[in-house]
Chains A and B, each alone.
Chain A
């Protein structure tokens, strides 16, 4: 349980980090909070030749208003985001989801960008990014590009990041004026990898109906999984127990999870449906209050 030998460098600026990536990219791994990477190193599932430690870079951790939305620096600690008043005021869904990420002792080190770039299918933040319409700023030594969640999460533990690129910022669009939200998951123990998680964002029409609905699930696919059929069924509707039950069946039918030692595919499908209905009712309750 000791990492294989590697070489290490700790840039102090973004430019130094991107220069290091330009030189070592294909052989290097970026070290953010280390709460996923270091276990992989310890188990020798990852054996990069070079580790580029981002923790000495001062200007990658921030939360600041950007237009009417928010820009979150990739190295913002999960604990800092959880306690951030701007995030709490505009994206309470993100705060709710962060509480499910590992444990407080993990979140003191874990970062927003690290979790997103690691792209674990069981992780909470990718699903949150998907329903909030987050955009991802990817930089290399020459240029920057911006992609959305669908473009960023490309597969199991895989993102659109090229070997010479770094995720530098997450941009959240202005929150809807009226919204209902919920995050919930099922894990064997709180803080374990979730079997299935559900993030729901409902945009209210001012009369208690959903102008728009976004649902994303963790643990049932290679990345965060949206269910467009369920989202269409909710559009223009008021969430009732009957509609939630229908959505439960649609979600359970639509997702295509794989079974593993923790849970069978059928069980995950069942749980996805149950969590969809549960999160919808919870989100709709908040919609009524805010409408």
Chain B
């Protein structure tokens, strides 16, 4: 697939102007659009087809391949990223919709040399095997523990319910998440 050309950066102008009062503007639908947003703290801008999902935009246009695509229809959770801090399926959002917003992907969490505490917990407690579903789970868990550092077993399970993992049987993931939330690794009977 042909790459969309990279546009000049226009720092500081992430929000489009407010609508004029009074009579409705006549809007013409477009097939391509400039997408301008902040990804992991850096402002980026590309022109893409409007049907390009945020997930494909991150992977294909920005080369951020940490975000994985499993089912591409919102079921598996592998593509979960943070949009303005909230976990969303990036396969169910068009890139053009993210203009003016702030996106955080797994690449922002830690580095191979310095894992985030959450990533370290996954490593310590065998929270992954093949790793395909892991980036999405990490993003959901990151948002949960940021808002509720002492998340309960129920909250952890509700969050994890939004993700499919075909390797681990989930128990290693749950132990990692409990550890990250300061809970005992095994649930109270």
A7 to B94, CA, bound (A): 12
How many residues of chain A are within 8 Å of chain B by beta carbon? 42
B residues 78-124 with Cβ under 8 Å of A?
80, 83, 86-89, 91-94, 96-97
- If A35-B92, A38-B74 touch, whether A3 touches B24 (CB-CB below 8 Å) is no
A residues 97-111 with Cβ under 8 Å of B?
102-106, 108-109
Establish whether residues A15 and B24, one from each chain, have CB atoms under 8 Å apart when the complex forms.
yes
- If A9-B28, A19-B24, A38-B92 touch, whether A105 touches B51 (CB-CB below 8 Å) is no
| Least CB separation from B27: chain A residue | A9
List the one stretch of B3-11, B158-166, B171-179 in contact with chain A: B158-166
A42 interface neighbour in B29, B73, B162, Cβ under 8 Å = B73
B29 interface neighbour in A3, A8, A102, Cβ under 8 Å = A8
- If A2-B51, A4-B51 touch, whether A103 touches B72 (CB-CB below 8 Å) is no
- If A16-B24, A105-B140 touch, whether A39 touches B92 (CB-CB below 8 Å) is yes
- B130 in contact (CB, < 8 A): no
- If A38-B74, A106-B74, A191-B162 touch, whether A8 touches B94 (CB-CB below 8 Å) is yes
A42 to B91, CA, bound (A): 9
Establish whether residues A3 and B51, one from each chain, have CB atoms under 8 Å apart when the complex forms.
yes
- B26 in contact (CB, < 8 A): yes
Cβ of A110 to closest chain B Cβ, rounded Å: 9
- Chain B residues with CB under 8 Å of A231's CB are none
- B2 in contact (CB, < 8 A): no
- B33 in contact (CB, < 8 A): yes
- B188 in contact (CB, < 8 A): no
A199 to B73, CA, bound (A): 28
B158 interface neighbour in A18, A35, A104, Cβ under 8 Å = A104
- If A1-B72, A5-B49 touch, whether A104 touches B87 (CB-CB below 8 Å) is yes
Cβ of A265 to closest chain B Cβ, rounded Å: 25
Cβ of B19 to closest chain A Cβ, rounded Å: 4
- A53 in contact (CB, < 8 A): yes
Cβ of B77 to closest chain A Cβ, rounded Å: 6
If A34-B97, A53-B96, A105-B162 are given as contacts, then 7 extra A-B residue pairs at C-beta distance below 8 Å, sorted by A number, are A8-B51, A10-B97, A41-B51, A42-B91, A50-B29, A105-B89, A108-B83
Q: Which 4 A-B pairs have the closest CB atoms?
A: A103-B162, A7-B29, A12-B19, A39-B73
